Amino acid sequence: MKFGFDIDDTLIDLRRHAFHLYSKKLNKSIGEDLFDKILTVEIHEAFGMTSEEGSKMWNDSMEDIYFTDCPSYEGAKEVLQALAEEGHEIYYITSRPKGYCEQTREWVKAQGFPVVDERFFCGMKDHEKIDIIKKLQLDVYVDDKPAVLNTLTGTNTKVIVKNQSYNQEMECTRLLNWSEFNGLIQNATS
C-alpha cells in the first residue's frame, strides 16, 4: 500500500517545540497548559503578538524551529519503520518552504524515519498537496490541517486526521496516538 504523511504536527511535535523556543527567546514563561488551549495553528496569540509580529517571529525563528531538536510523537517513527519493513511505500508531503526542502529531508532521515528520496515532496502550498496525493494514488494520508484534509473528501484516499486542538471539527478517522495507527488501518482496509 501507499502511505502518505505530513510532517509538522503529524509526525513531529513542531508547534509545541516552537512554543518552547518562543518562550525562551521572548523570556516569557507561559504554562504548558496554555499551549493546549491555543485553538489556532499559529501560536503567536499566546505571547500577545499580532499576526504580523507572529509571522515575523516565525520567519525569523524558522531554522531553529525546523532543525534543532524537535521531538517526534511517541511511536511515530516505529510505525513508519514497520510499514517500510513490510514493503509498503512511504511518502512524505510537507508544505515547508522550498528553500528548506533538502535540509528537511536530511533532518527527517537523521531522526530515524524511513525516507526514499524520490518519495519526499516538499515546497507546495497546503491546497496544492491534493495534486500530489491524487497523482500518487495514495491509499492512506495523514495530516493535521483541516485546510488540507478538506480538499481530499471524495477522493479514494483514506484520510486520517492527527488529533490537534485546532482540528476538532474534522469528521474523519482520528489518530490520537501513533500506537493506534495499525488499528485504524485495519479498519480502513478490511
The three cell numbers locating residue 153: 473528501
> From the list 5, 9, 44, 93, which residue makes contact with Mg ion (rule: CB under 5 A)?
9
Q: Give 73's DSSP letter.
A: P
> From the list 83, 144, 157, 178, which residue makes contact with Mg ion (rule: CB under 5 A)?
144
Which of 11, 49 has the CB closer to Mg ion? 11
Cα–Cα distance for residue pair 52/42, rounded to 1 Å: 11
Cα–Cα distance for residue pair 104/100, rounded to 1 Å: 6
Which of 5, 22 has the CB closer to Mg ion? 5
For residue 89, the number of C-alpha atoms closer than 13 Å in the C-beta half-sphere is: 12
Q: Does residue 13 belong to the site contacting Mg ion (CB under 5 A)?
A: no
Window contacting Mg ion (CB under 5 A); options: 9-17, 28-36, 77-85, 134-142: 9-17
> From the list 4, 5, 6, 43, which residue makes contact with Mg ion (rule: CB under 5 A)?
6
Angle between helices 51-67 and 101-110 (to 10 degrees): 50
Number of residues that bind Mg ion (CB under 5 A): 4
Stretch 110-139 residues interacting with Mg ion (CB under 5 A):
none
Which of 93, 185 has the CB closer to Mg ion? 93
97, 124 contact by CB (below 8 A): no
Q: Rule CB under 5 A: which residues touch Mg ion?
A: 6, 8-9, 144
